[in-house]
Copies of this chain bind each other. A is one copy, B any other.
Amino acid sequence: MSTAEHGKSTSGITMRDVAKAAGVSVATVSHVVNNKPGARIGDDARRRVQETVTELGYRPNALAKTLSEGTSRFIGLVADAIATTPFAGQIIHGAQDEAWKHGYVLLVANTDGNTAAEDEAIAMMLEHQVRGILYSTWYHREIVVPEALHQTDSVLVDCFADGSGLPAVVPDEEQGGRTATEELLAAGHRRIAFINTTTPSPAQSGRLAGYRSALELAGITFDESLVFAAAPEQEGGYAAAPRIIDSTATAVFCHNDRVAMGLYDGLREQGLRIPDDIAVIGFDNQDVIAAHLRPPLSTVALPHYELGAAGVRLLLGLDPATATDPLKVACPLIQRQSI
């Protein structure tokens, strides 16, 4: 492969064409186009090259540029399922917007949690000399870090690995649980049930801790009999309805919006009206559900977009990473009509 080929752009105009039209050497064009530090080029020649580049529509070959610079303008995003579950796609959205803002393009690989596919995706990204890799999961959890992630700058998004040394950004589950409970307290409720998930996770422990701390701050003694375990979906919420009614709670904090949707059905079957007879708040602000229940569901949003954007900022060193703990992103309150 010759140097001439490197100068060939995708528009068909070569670096040689630019050099000829601008009356400078190919090396000068290359230095200006690639913005090489240390190259001594007069202001005149630089301006002439830049004008000619615009005039002829010369577009430097991105791959050749990557080879000469050693890293590309790619940021990799390895995701277990966020692009294909109806849930965490906004992580991609936020990461992409933030990457583009800083001149990077997001390279997305969806692995469905398959280890072989994951290894292959990371290897592909390393081969393409990515600036770094975001490794993301579709729900917040602790992970075992794939060894290859240590071969470049990597940031964990919506997941974490204690002791891995990798920076991480996760939703603030405890604050979210506190916010949800405080919203019910603010409406005057004192006997508040919590339908938690049966699945051990940072969401399970964090939202419970938030629920407890909000009660404590309000001077209400924690009552374990008001905490119910249910499968984290509609069926779990529906099945919990009789227990909620028996508990004489006047308000319910649901682990997620799907549970709240099932609970709506269960309460309705027993003739209870929301929010007149019982108030309900969810968690997630899940698209196609939360805003469309009857009545529309008040909830706390998972900040997926912001997680993706914050991950890119951590990777590029624009936000300082904390050495040990993951960076926590707040879960905002979304007020609707169920309280």
Contact = CB atoms under 8 A, between A and B. Distances in A.
Interface of A: 1, 3, 5-6, 10, 59-64, 66-68, 72, 83-87, 89-90, 92-93, 96, 100, 105-110, 112, 117, 120, 123-124, 126-129, 233-235, 238, 258, 261-262, 265, 268, 286-289, 292-294
Contacts of A85: 89, 287
B292 A235 contact: yes
Contacts of A288: 86-87, 258, 286, 288-289
Contact of A63 (B87, B112, B129, B286): B129
A10 to B, nearest CB: 5
The 3 A-B residue pairs with the shortest CB-CB distance in the complex, in nearest-first order = A86-B86, A62-B127, A234-B292
A61 B124 CA distance: 10
Given A107-B107, A268-B268, A10 B63 contact: no
A287 B88 CA distance: 13
A83 B88 CA distance: 9
Contacts of A67: 1, 5-6, 61, 63-64, 67
B84 A89 contact: yes
Contacts of A123: 59
